[in-house]
Chain A
Amino acid sequence: MGLARRFDVTASATASPDASRHSAPTRKRRRSQIGLAFIAPFGVLFTLVFIVPILYAAYLSLFQERLLGGNTFVGLANYGKLVQDPQFWDGVGRVFRFTLVQVPIMLILAMALALALDSMRLHGTRFMRVTIFLPYAVPAIVSTLMWGFLLGVKYGLFGSLNDALGTDFDPFAPDTTLISIGVMVTWAFTGFNMLIFYAVLKAVPRELYEAAAIDGANEFQIVRAVKLPALRGSLVVTVIFSIIGTFQMFNEPQILPTMVANSGVTTYYTPNLYAYNLAFTGSQQGYAAALALVMAAITIAVAYAVQIRGLRNASDK
């Protein structure tokens, strides 16, 4: 899972020659052709699915659908418009705030759970490990349905709770909807992150703990001195994946309005929802393409910054 260090792995793999290669130029060329044959199916489809769409979107983003004159070349006007679009920045701000709160909560929980499960001091470790992971296998539509019903005041548990207590708390009021989405997302992805941390902890040589125990370290000291440092690399990876995931949030806010009225979810609630609505209901495809590209650039920039920071911190220690 070495996303954090994949570039140096990459460099070493490509820069240093294969240890076993001692062959004549002809054989080398043949091998090179075989290598191409192995990589070609992936390469061709990758070009069709990743490269061409991005180039095509970049091309489309230079056009605007005009009432008069149809599809007109407008240069970078879509990007200029986007920078000044308060609805776009409202969505960007929302996913940033969401990321700042939800990702740390989720990852701290995931790490605590991984440490607890790895401590071997729990009853039913196996059952709990699998159960905590299960939500990952549930599609967003089903999880939004379940949580929508559970937290909803109409048929849900909160309705019953409000009836019983005489309160009228609504988890899907405009002010609280984002928190409810946080509850859903945390539910869905904590287990996956927990499992990554858990796998890393399992790979720590037990001899280290034994040595620490002989030196008189207690459990908390072992956690601090051995286990947490071991998790650092995978933490960078999970932070990056979580950021990528939350920045492209779409499913929950897209599905929720069909479940609850007045949830405060607007057509531009998240950047991706906005792009979707622009492209499919507003038929402003050029503008939507510009938005998708800018959002991808923002996401990559943030992920890259986290990676650089994570690597620097790791090498400081």
Chain B
Amino acid sequence: MHPTSSLPAEAGKALSTPARRSRRGHRLYTLDNPRKSATLTVMTGLFTLYCLLPLVWLVINATKSQADFVSSFGLAPGREFALWDNIVEVFRYQDGIFSRWLLNTVVYVVLGATVSTFLAALGGYALANLDFRGKRVFLFVVLGSISVPGIALAIPQFLLFAQLGMTNTPWAVLIPSFINPFGLYLMWVFTAEAVPTGLLEAAKIDGAGEFRTFFQIALPLLAPASVTVLLFSFVSIWNNYFLPLIMLKDPDWYPLTIGINQWNKLGSTAGNGALIQNLVITSALLTIVPLIIAFLSLQRYWQSGLSLGAVKG
């Protein structure tokens, strides 16, 4: 399991396994046991239903007007199909602050995920292929930090950022998201696995500097790994709730998660609050749609990236 000793052939094999596996596995079971199992399908199907039910509920109820939401059965459609009205109203409510939250979220996610993945790739490459003073201590501290609960860290981060006068600015959300120790760990493992040392040596003999070698040789080979780390940072930043909750006071800097909760609180202040559950539900749907699209369309990459990581483990 020496990280720098793996051969390119191994890495290639690991990457292409899913497709190859399923063909061969299929042969095994047609030979051994040609039947699909109905019992097993129903049992797994029940769990799939549990996973799907809340999402179905969300989609159905995003199509209802507030009046229908209160009066009709949860899984039945309302009397009128109000999805478009709801979406328009979500973007109009409180002077269109929802689009501001959406924009904030996109900025936090794009900057945070790109920078953190790039830093993790640089660092992982250095750990796998380069030497530097204090490498051992660095590894011990960074890997140890993976088990520090993020939320236990957020309060100290808040206290420090408050001292520096950086709370209630986008930097308070962005800077912590730039660092992803687990991403660094994955990139280190991936680099050791997928980037052959010989290729890097050859590039250097040809006169390429370390940085050029990294950008032109290593980075393209790390594409599946980068997509995996990028996508998982994307999700964790998009879904981040605690950090922006404590760091931001000004609604103009809110990401979607905090904004939706704000609306939800408005609606639930029983009696004197505005009843806007239809807007809360529709905005929740609008919040998860981009993530689901990202996951579904990038499946091929992150599944191969994930299995490469798992093979190492």
Contact = CB atoms under 8 A, between A and B. Distances in A.
Given A139-B288, A255-B261, A120 B25 contact: yes
Interface string B289-307: 0011011100100010011
A35 B2 contact: no
A299 B33 contact: no
Contact of A50 (B21, B129, B145): B145
B274 to A, nearest CB: 14
Given A4-B313, A49-B176, A248-B151, A143 B54 contact: yes
The range of chain B's interface size is: 35 or more
B227 to A, nearest CB: 15
B272 to A, nearest CB: 15
DSSP majority for the A interface?
Answer: helix
Interface string A1-24: 111111111101110101111000
Given A36-B133, A121-B35, A272 B119 contact: no
B63 interface: no
A264 to B, nearest CB: 17
Given A19-B197, A20-B201, A35-B132, A233 B152 contact: no
A52 B52 CA distance: 43
Nearest to B44: A116
Contact of B51 (A31, A121, A187): A187
Given A13-B2, A50-B153, A145-B280, A137 B57 contact: no
Contacts of B9: none
Interface stretch (A79-87, A97-105, A169-177, A193-201): A193-201
B73 A160 contact: yes
A166 to B, nearest CB: 17
Interface stretch (A68-76, A288-296, A308-316): A288-296
Interface in A264-317: 272, 275-276, 279-280, 285, 288-289, 292-293, 295-296, 299-300, 303-304
A5 to B, nearest CB: 8
A285 B159 contact: yes
B33 A209 contact: no
B4 interface: yes
Contacts of A34: 130, 210
A122 B159 CA distance: 52
A167 to B, nearest CB: 17
A109 interface: yes
Given A42-B123, A135-B51, A202-B18, A142 B1 contact: no
Contact of A49 (B55, B159, B179, B270): B179
Given A1-B310, A213-B32, A285-B159, A155 B74 contact: yes
Contacts of B131: 18, 21, 28, 31-32, 35
Interface of A: 1-10, 12-14, 16, 18-21, 28, 31-36, 38-39, 41-43, 45-46, 48-54, 56-57, 60, 109, 113, 116-117, 119-124, 127-128, 130-143, 145-147, 149-150, 155-157, 160, 187, 190-191, 195-196, 199-200, 202-203, 206, 209-210, 213, 219, 233-234, 237, 240, 244, 247-248, 250-251, 255, 258-259, 261, 272, 275-276, 279-280, 285, 288-289, 292-293, 295-296, 299-300, 303-304
Contacts of B69: 155
A123 to B, nearest CB: 5
Contact of A203 (B41, B153, B307): B307
Interface in B63-84: 69-70, 73-75
Given A1-B312, A219-B33, A122 B44 contact: yes
B151 A139 contact: no
A142 B48 contact: no
User: Which of A31, A146, A233, A247 has the most C-beta atoms of chain B within 10 angstroms of its own C-beta?
Assistant: A146
Given A57-B159, A202-B17, A141 B151 contact: no
B239 interface: yes
Contacts of B61: 149
Which 8 residue pairs of A and B lie closest in terms of their CB atoms, listed nearest first?
A: A35-B132, A1-B313, A57-B156, A35-B130, A38-B126, A53-B156, A139-B239, A199-B310
Among B24, B25, B147, B153, residue most surrounded by chain A Cβ atoms (within 10 Å): B147
Interface string B146-158: 1111111101111
A263 B169 CA distance: 34
8 contacts: A9-B3, A50-B179, A123-B36, A132-B48, A138-B239, A155-B277, A255-B264, A299-B152
B7 interface: no
A23 to B, nearest CB: 11
B45 interface: yes
B155 A289 contact: yes
Contacts of A219: 33
A82 B195 CA distance: 50
Nearest to B34: A121
Given A18-B131, A150-B74, 14 more contacts: A4-B313, A13-B139, A42-B122, A45-B119, A48-B175, A122-B41, A138-B291, A139-B256, A139-B288, A142-B287, A160-B73, A199-B310, A272-B152, A276-B246
